[in-house]
Amino acid sequence: MKQAILDKVEESFKKAEAYYGRTFSRPKHIIFKRTGTNGGHCWYERSELMFQISLAEKEGDKFVNRTPAHEVAHWIDKEVNGYSYTPSGRRDIHGKKWKFIMTNVMGLEASRCHSYDVSDVAIKRKRYDYACSNGHTLSISSVKHNRIVNRLWRNLPMPYRCKCGGKLSLKVKTREDKIKELEEQIKQLTNAIN
């Protein structure tokens, strides 16, 4: 499987070189230790392409025919166009230029997400309850929660707002909330046993 991915990476670079009429640099490292639900990752600054080998082995040709080309398209996009940014200042990773490369150079659909079965590799992340200043309650992933805590610790502005525009604050659980949570867990365990 690893060799099939490596072959597809090289084939994708050759397609780009034929299209643009120039030679592109290659990543120094191709790593097969990616975890989580992403199929792959292009880290240009570290000269790395990373792939989720357990997904590749599970999905087979479906993975090999799509994911390596997707990551090489990111590499080519950086070399041809540099970094693009959205009006909000975030890097435009799957923007028009990347989509152009996927469609016209790689000959593939330019979708940013895969449809692989990730039930075996999905990591259950802890969620945190936040309250909106307008009365809503949101459940935020541990990744976003850690970003919030990191920014607040450094006295930077809160990076997220509620969809309604309200300010978010960590919802402190009351004793009653914790009791309800435990009762729900007991109910779920009872249902699983029966």
Confidence band of 123 (pLDDT split at 50, 70, 90): low
Q: Which domain holds residue 173?
A: 127-193
Per the domain annotation, does 174 fall within a domain? Answer: yes
pLDDT of 101 > 70? The answer is: yes
Indicate the average pLDDT of the chain.
Answer: 86
DSSP reduced 3-state for 188: helix
**One domain for residues 98 and 136:** no
Under 8 Å between Cβ of 67 and 56: yes
- Strands, sheet with 127-132, edge to edge from the N-terminal-most edge strand: 137-141, 127-132, 168-170
User: Structural domain tally of the chain?
Assistant: 2
**pLDDT (mean) for 14-41:** 91
Per the domain annotation, does 161 fall within a domain? Answer: yes
Under 8 Å between Cβ of 72 and 107: no
pLDDT of 20 > 80? The answer is: yes
**What does the pLDDT read at residue 28?**
96
C-alpha 42 chain-centroid distance: 11
**One domain for residues 93 and 177:** no
Per the domain annotation, does 171 fall within a domain? Answer: yes
Confidence band of 121 (pLDDT split at 50, 70, 90): low
**What does the pLDDT read at residue 124?**
64
Per the domain annotation, does 110 fall within a domain? Answer: no
**pLDDT (mean) for 89-101:** 88
pLDDT higher at 25 or 57: 25
What's the DSSP call for residue 167?
A: B
What's the DSSP call for residue 34?
A: -
